[in-house]
Amino acid sequence: MAASCAVGLGVSLARGLVRYAEASRLLAPCRVLPQSCIHTTTALEGNKNWERKNRVLHQPQPPEETRRAAEVYHCRRQIKYSKDKMWYLAKMIRGMTIEQAIAQLEFNDKKGAAIIKEVLLEAQEMAVKSHNVEYKSNLYVAESFSGKGQYLKRIRIHGRGMFGIMDKVYCHYFVKLVEGVAPKEEPRTGFDQAKEYVQQLRNRTIIHSL
Amino acid sequence: MSATGLLDVFRRSFFHLESRILQAIGFNNHAVVPALSVQGPGIFPQLHRNEETEEHSLLDNIFWMAAPKKRRTIEVNRCRRRNPQKLIEIKTNIEPCSGCGNLKQKHVLCGFCYEKVRRETAIIRGQIQAQEGKPLNNPAVETVVLYEGEKPADTDAGKRIVERKRQRPSWFTQY
């Protein structure tokens, strides 16, 4: 009687364990691995959401569906450079193939160009090693942008006993590489934008009307 | 009719009187509107007493300085920062080097090949320095660099020989 109870308990425990394993591991439908419900990050640490995007697990695709393209998310934090100046470089390489982007950055004289080139090479290596990308040059830059890092404040002394607070600027750089060929985007003309604007005006509904 | 005419006369006479008074002071019409705006402190004449406090003159100077009237909106700022003149142009003169395969600009030597040559010449220069011993001790003859297994040719009769203990690199042709 006691033995059967113990066995029953053991079985239910095992089932619970299996359910937990299912919930946490391979069979989860596009869910991130479970974390604690307690808010543990401090204000100084900032959001690390971009790094977490690499850990997203998709459900296995049915055989008739087109293969989902491999994506790699990479970033570098607290770069000693201005986010506005970094933006120009990030804007330049948007939509380029990775080889083209590396070539352009190699011959650019800006400080951020060398940093972005390092980040791209790291991301390319990551893609081939752990993200199931077959050819390292079959990648293109899908997203690329810069963000503000945490600034240090210093005093800048002016004349007549005045002072200003000087910001020592830092920035983050984020990039997303996708396998395959970049989708060709048609450039939006002014006429298209005007047409869209007029259409938006026409779509407005007047509430409480007849 | 007469009332409006009288008013007109009064107005005109008042302005005439005012201008006459101003002329008497020395405040002519052409000096009122400045044709060129300059920094305040440069043009202030030292007519007033010198024991004027510094704060007072600073405030006076601020009165004449250019200042923005309104905050520039983010839309206006974006138009200025993102117009094509300020964006980085992509270069179309990048090509692979025929020697090593690294990228190079069309009108510039390949950086990798240049570095390779630079390293070898640094070693040769070090050997020459060791041979000479002290500065400004170079002999008044030509120098020939010989690699492993090479003998000086007849044309290298009176030249100074620098030996390198390695195989001759492909890019350093002998003749």
Question: Best mutation site among B88, B105, B108 for testing chain A: the one with the most A CBs within 10 Å?
Answer: B88
Nearest CA in chain B to A110: B88
| CA–CA gap between residue A49 and residue A132 (Å, rounded) | 22
Confidence (pLDDT) at A23: 47
Respond yes or no on whether ipTM tops 0.90: no
- Is pTM beyond 0.80 here? no
pLDDT tens digit sequence for B127-140: 999 999 999 999 99
A177 neighbors A71 (Cβ within 8 angstroms): yes
> Which of B81, B87, B90 is facing A104, going by the closest CB pair?
B90
CA distance A152 to chain B (A): 25
Return the DSSP state at B83: S
pLDDT value at position A209? 86
Q: Cα separation of A157 and A164, whole Å? A: 6
Cβ distance of B94 and A84 shorter than 8 Å: no
Angle CA A102–A108–A109, to nearest 5: 140
**CB-based contact B88 A108, cutoff 8 Å:** yes
> Which chain A positions have a beta carbon within 8 Å of B88's beta carbon?
88-89, 91-92, 108, 110
3-state class (DSSP) for residue A126 = helix
Of B87, B91, B103, the CB nearest to A88: B87
Buried b (16+ CB within 10 A) or exposed e, B16-31: eeeeeeeeeeeeeeee
A-chain CB neighbours of B81 within 8 Å are 84
Tell me which chain A residues have a C-beta less than 8 angstroms from the C-beta of B94: 103-104, 106-107
- For B:104-123, CB contacts with A below 8 A are 105
Ranges of chain A whose pLDDT falls below 50: 21, 23-24, 26-28
Mean pLDDT for B18-44 is 61
Contacts of A83 (CB under 8 A, 6+ apart): A146, A147, A148, A149, A169, A171, A172
Residues in A 94-123 with any Cβ partner in B closer than 8 A = 103-104, 106-108, 110
Helices within chain A (DSSP H only): 2-24, 49-52, 83-93, 98-106, 111-130, 190-203
From chain B, the residues in CB contact with A106 under 8 A are 94, 103
Q: Is A137 on the interface with B (CB under 8 A)?
A: no
Q: Do B87 and A104 touch (CB under 8 A)?
A: no
Q: Would you give the DSSP letter of residue A109?
A: -
Would you give the DSSP letter of residue A112?
H
**The pLDDT value given to residue B64:** 86
Residue B63 pLDDT grade (very low, low, confident, very high; cuts 50, 70, 90)? confident
Show Cβ contacts of residue B158 under 8 Å, excluding neighbours closer than 6 positions. B141
User: Which amino acid is it at B20?
Assistant: R
Chain A residues inside the 8 Å CB shell of B87: 88, 91-92
- The arithmetic mean of pLDDT across residues B144-153, rounded, is 93
Coil, helix or strand at residue A45 = coil
Q: What is the DSSP letter of B30?
A: H
